[in-house]
Chain A
Amino acid sequence: MEVEASVRLFGGKRRLRDRVVAEATELGILKVSWASTGLAALAQARSNIENGFKKPMQELLDALPMDSISAVRPHSTTLAQMGCRTLGDVRALPRAGLARRFGAALRLAMDQAYGHIAESFGWEVLPEDFKAKLELGFRVEHAPALLQGARRLLVQMCGWLAARHAGTTAFTLKWWHDSMRSKDAGDSGLLKVGTADPSRDIEHLCRLLAEHLAKVELLAPVGDLELTADEVHDQAGHNVSLFPDDVEDGLAPHLVLECVAARLGPGAVKRCVVNEDHRQEWMSHWQPAAAPLPRKPAPSTDLPQPTWVMKEPLKLAVRNNRPVYQGELQLLAGPQCVESGWWDRDEEVGDTRLQVRDYWLAQSKHAGVLWLFQTKMDDGNAWFLHGVFG
């Protein structure tokens, strides 16, 4: 990684180095070292020397064993027989003879490592698809414990997504069962996780995965994990506002609702869609919050409507010709006659969803303003409570 040009952006060498070291371990990188040339840094990493700026580079490199540089390795036996032990010994050999006997590649690599010749690197090209595997250090028997391993894979995926300026809307976590398993357990299991907006936010994806994993029961201990990004969409970076006006620093509502829905079930988090219908049951319906809303909301009635409705109309007793709900009710206004639905056929029941109802406004001393209807039943008229103006 060439960092010279980015030192100022990240607030100095020391802070950049701290950040690289901190985040590299999360990505599964074992050693980090830095020096003025790439090959020198690599050679130091192989010998567990982190800081290549402590001493003059030449002095540091001379002391390293000669096979720290890959180009030296094919010739290490010959060089050892010539009495070379360290890179310093190799460098001390006559340059012309070195190139003649061991090829120009060795001399070039030595020169590049010592910074005599500029280095050139091939660009790292990212794969088109993301698929990463991880072997767990120990067998995991409970699904939530998979999260620790899965997090490392997620970090890799988010790095890959960030480099491609993309976000994912669906990813799959697959696990392989340990060989010590019962016959009917199968050899693997998988979990598909979806999110509404393309995202590469580790924390959000991790929370989402945790909620889903909490509901998974593993059939056998798990040894290996694999993470695949299924759906990847371009996601440009956000523009940062110049003025600190109304900056949303929390988690966006739809992301939180997604996590809540992941735990409680998709039907538990609902948004409303208003329909054009006079029958109260079909005036509006509630759909999962993640589903898209119609672009233009339908108009609703101008007539009074309660703010709460009962899930099922509640049949009321009648006393002194008045419906009773927490005491006798006082009818205030009405009726609002609704007769609709002859065209709406319920195939399962084989009947139409026809409603003939007279809606009334009623008042109760304790239960506030209520919305009742009277309808014809087999045994005469009956009163039902259907809503509350609350």
Chain B
Amino acid sequence: MLPAAAGPGAVLPSPALLPPSQNALAGVHEPLSHAAETALWRGTELGGPVSDVLTSGFAELDAVLPGGGWPCGSSTEVLVRQFSVVEMRLLAHVIAAQTRRGRTVALVGPSLAPHAPGLRHEGVDERHLVWVDVDTPRDRLWATEQLIKAGTFGAIVSWLSHVRAEQIRRLQVLSSRCKGPVFLCRPEVAARDSSAAPLRVLARVETDWQLAVQVLKRKGAQLEETLLLPSVPGGLLKIMTERLRHPSRLQPVEPANVVVRPAAAAHQRPQVAATSQH
């Protein structure tokens, strides 16, 4: 009895069991009502914003972030190959916007000292910028957690080199109380591990005044392509010449193509040795 019912000849003729594509062609699939359509989330769409968002200052990046910007009340991971190279170029716009609004922005444990005259070129009002200068991983985590718990900061940027997945999870849970965005800067190798942060971004610096940004994780479909965002930091736009616009064209010529006179080479040797001693 059972094999007969399960056979293809027995089942297919029934109209209710046609594959979905044929269903639609046959007009069985009715268009959804407007309310159902708006409530429906399709797998190909971006996730809706959970909270407020702040624009990143890059139109291309905003277009691929859920809600159109950095999420507030949530933590965002920024993965970089080495610290202090690309983070400020990526985040300067949101930091500047928050400080100009009079909201305090905290930098927790950056590897180098922030330089206010340079940050002013990015539009940051340094009076609302606080540098929490901590060194040990434990203090970094503790300070970050305290600031997130307060919930009143305009933005928190924390550099965490050694951090475990459950610690990130804890920070993410606490972030929901926070009014501003929380950025956790981590080394690039952390991309291999899973993380509780709902948004993960991998950023790298490119030669011709560009940032290569990859969105590793977001609410919604995964983004495969790498975005190239234009970024000229620290007021360099004022001295930008046509030649400077493409530093990649200024790459040094390979020494193999240059004829070096023996006398000049001999003169050069001791100088190299002397300077590299220091």
Contacts from A to B (Cβ < 8 Å): 248-257, 259-260, 263-264, 267-272, 274, 280, 283-284, 286, 289, 293, 297, 300-311, 315, 317-322, 328, 330, 332-333, 361, 363, 365-369, 379-380, 382, 387-390
Contacts and interface: CB of A to CB of B under 8 A. Distances in A.
B85 A284 contact: no
A14 B238 CA distance: 70
Contact of A270 (B88, B131, B234, B276): B131
Contacts of A303: 235, 238-239
Contacts of A263: 142
B86 A301 contact: no
Given A251-B149, A271-B129, A274-B120, 15 more contacts: A250-B177, A251-B152, A259-B146, A272-B116, A272-B131, A274-B126, A280-B115, A302-B235, A304-B235, A305-B234, A307-B233, A318-B276, A320-B255, A330-B250, A380-B275
Given A283-B115, A318-B276, A388-B112, A269 B244 contact: no
Contacts of B152: 248, 250-253, 256
A257 B130 contact: yes
B22 interface: no
A382 B277 CA distance: 12
Interface of B: 81-82, 84-89, 92, 104, 106, 110, 112-122, 126-127, 129-134, 139, 142-143, 146-147, 149-153, 177, 179, 205, 207, 233-236, 238-239, 241, 244, 247, 250-252, 255, 268, 271-272, 274-276, 278
Nearest to A246: B179
Given A260-B146, A308-B110, A389 B234 contact: yes
Contacts of B272: 317-319
Given A307-B115, A317-B276, A390-B85, A302 B133 contact: no
- Of the candidates A251, A284, A390, the one having the most CB atoms from chain B within 10 angstroms of its own CB is A390
Contact of A305 (B106, B207, B235): B235
B244 to A, nearest CB: 6
A306 B115 CA distance: 7
B117 A297 contact: no
Given A260-B146, A307-B119, A387-B118, A272 B129 contact: yes
Contacts of A302: 235, 238
A284 B117 contact: yes
Contacts of A311: 112-113
29 contacts: A249-B151, A250-B152, A250-B177, A253-B130, A253-B152, A256-B147, A263-B142, A267-B133, A270-B130, A271-B127, A274-B120, A280-B115, A302-B235, A304-B118, A304-B235, A304-B236, A306-B234, A307-B88, A308-B115, A317-B272, A318-B271, A319-B276, A330-B250, A369-B205, A380-B274, A382-B275, A382-B278, A387-B112, A390-B88
A250 B148 CA distance: 10
Given A308-B110, A317-B276, A390-B87, A260 B147 contact: yes
Contacts of B127: 271-272, 293, 297
Contacts of B81: 366
A270 to B, nearest CB: 5
Contacts of A286: 113, 131
B117 A301 contact: yes
A369 B231 CA distance: 11
Contacts of B244: 332-333
A264 B143 contact: yes
B239 A304 contact: yes
A292 to B, nearest CB: 11
Contacts of A248: 152
Contacts of B114: 272, 307-308
- Of the candidates B117, B129, B139, the one having the most CB atoms from chain A within 10 angstroms of its own CB is B117
CB-based closest 7 A-B pairs:
A250-B151, A305-B118, A308-B112, A256-B150, A300-B117, A253-B104, A250-B152
Contacts of A305: 115, 117-118, 120-121, 234-235
Nearest to A369: B233
A257 B106 CA distance: 10
Contacts of A249: 151
A319 B275 CA distance: 9
Contacts of A317: 272, 275-276, 278
Contacts of B247: 330, 332, 363
A304 B237 CA distance: 8
Contact of A304 (B92, B234, B251): B234
A386 B153 CA distance: 30
A256 B152 CA distance: 9
A272 B88 CA distance: 17
Contacts of A308: 84, 88, 110, 112-115, 118
A336 to B, nearest CB: 9
A332 B278 contact: no
B181 to A, nearest CB: 15
A298 to B, nearest CB: 10
Contacts of B179: 250
A245 B139 CA distance: 35
A116 to B, nearest CB: 57
A78 B96 CA distance: 84
Nearest to A334: B239
A263 B136 CA distance: 13
